[in-house]
Copies of this chain bind each other. A is one copy, B any other.
Amino acid sequence: MLVNGGMQLSKHHGAGNDFLVVTDPEGRVDVGADLARALCDRRFGVGADGVLHLLPGRDGAAVAMELFNADGSRAEMSGNGIRCLAQAAVDAGMVTPPSFTVATDAGPRDVEYRAGAQDGTARVSVDMGVPALGPDQPQHFADRRARTVDMGNPHLVLLGPDPAAVDVVEVGQGIQTAFPAGVNVEFVAVTAGTDEITLRVYERGVGETLACGTGSCAAAAAAHAWGLVGTRVTVVNPGGPLEVTLDGHVRLEGPTWRVADLSVDPAVVLAAARPVVRR
């Protein structure tokens, strides 16, 4: 009914971290917290981890990103989110690949884009900035070696034998009490003799997620600082592998998929939203 009317969106994912992109080359769309929350609702709306508003560039950047979490709140930056947004920007002809800059609320970010062999997929990498590593903590939580890493957002990387055996939510929530502003917690194992690490993440305010871009960068930086991996690290998230390159800056790379194109009427999405639960 609305295919050629309404608000146009596309649904993307990077390693299972999924986003709805509102492509808005003329900067005319008002997304807003209520619409973002209604769109992200996986049963009453469309469903996604967040909404990315793709806007005209500013300050020399080709395009700009405005990011809403699933609860409608704003966030400055998302590693997988900006990779998905870059795919939509190329698809819409708003940028010229392979290299362009995206303005974010955390500052400009340099992106490299390479089309995939198959329609609908691309490999996208993004400069995630300089990690700020805390001191080594040999016997931190539950006897795990630990290290804080600031990637613009706070992380605690815990090194242990088997992330699969951890109750990520319970331990992750427990650790929050030691961090008044909250912290993202990475449970990490290194595959012996390789530059591959396996990761599970507790995201502050979210719970366990299938993939975390900043968490993958923090984990690779910590593992490198411990001398366990080199400078090109494969980080196996539950939703798939991401590649992290360390050269002062941290670069995050991986596949993105454009899964669907959508058309919605914002008034209908808001009216169809989840009611207050009566029990």
Contacts and interface: CB of A to CB of B under 8 A. Distances in A.
Interface of A: 1-4, 6, 8, 10-11, 13, 16-18, 42-47, 49, 91, 118-121, 163-164, 198, 200, 210, 236, 238-241, 257-265, 267-269, 271-272, 274-275, 277-279
Contacts of A10: 1
Nearest to A1: B91
B44 A47 contact: no
A222 to B, nearest CB: 19
A18 B46 CA distance: 9
Given A44-B16, A278-B236, A262 B265 contact: no
Contacts of A278: 198, 236, 241
Contacts of A267: 118-120
A243 to B, nearest CB: 15
A17 to B, nearest CB: 8
A45 B240 CA distance: 15
A118 to B, nearest CB: 6
Task: Determine which residue in A3, A198, A269, A279 has the highest number of CB atoms from chain B within 10 A of its CB, and name it.
Answer: A279
Nearest to A91: B1
Nearest to A277: B238
A171 to B, nearest CB: 16
